[in-house]
């Protein structure tokens, strides 16, 4: 696995970054994990469910399944929030960028769909 391999840095790079080797390596591993294929695929599925799940719930299911849909939407909210937190910590230019605020607004818009949080 590529993200588990230790990255070598010389002393000049460490001084330039102002961090020790372990901290840089952990940030790089987390960043490679977050930007990896598995997380990207999972977050794509979560995004599709967040966008269209409520519509499918209304079209194809009875009201007894609402609790399960709200549970999955709550999980989507947690996953989106975790992604924002991780990207803010490991991606240097993400925090307070356009995509940061776009992700915040999109994640907060899920609250409207979760009836448990709106009551």
Give, for all 119 residues of the chain, the pLDDT tens digit: 444 444 444 444 445 555 567 778 899 999 999 999 999 999 999 999 999 999 999 999 999 999 999 999 999 999 999 999 999 999 989 999 999 999 999 999 999 998 888 87
CB 112 within 8 A of CB 118: yes
CB 13 within 8 A of CB 20: no
What is the domain partition of the chain in residue ranges?
Answer: 1-34, 37-118
- Exposure letters 29-65 (e unless 16+ CB within 10 A, then b): bbbbbbeeeeeeeebeebeebbeebbeebeeeeeeee
Q: What is the pTM of this model?
A: 0.78
C-alpha closest to that of 79 among 45, 114, 43, 118: 43
CB 91 within 8 A of CB 51: no
């Amino acid at each position: 696995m590529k993200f588990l391999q230790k990255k070598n840095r010389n002393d000049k790079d460490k001084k330039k970054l102002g961090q020790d080797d372990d901290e840089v390596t952990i940030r790089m591993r987390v960043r490679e994990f977050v930007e990896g294929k598995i997380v990207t695929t999972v977050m794509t599925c979560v995004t599709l469910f967040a966008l269209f799940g409520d519509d499918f719930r209304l079209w194809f299911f009875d009201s007894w399944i609402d609790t399960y849909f709200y549970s999955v939407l709550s999980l989507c909210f947690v996953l989106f929030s975790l992604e924002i937190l991780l990207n803010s910590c490991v991606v240097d230019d993400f925090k307070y960028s356009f995509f940061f605020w776009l992700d915040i607004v999109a994640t907060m818009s899920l609250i409207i769909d979760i009836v448990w949080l709106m009551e």
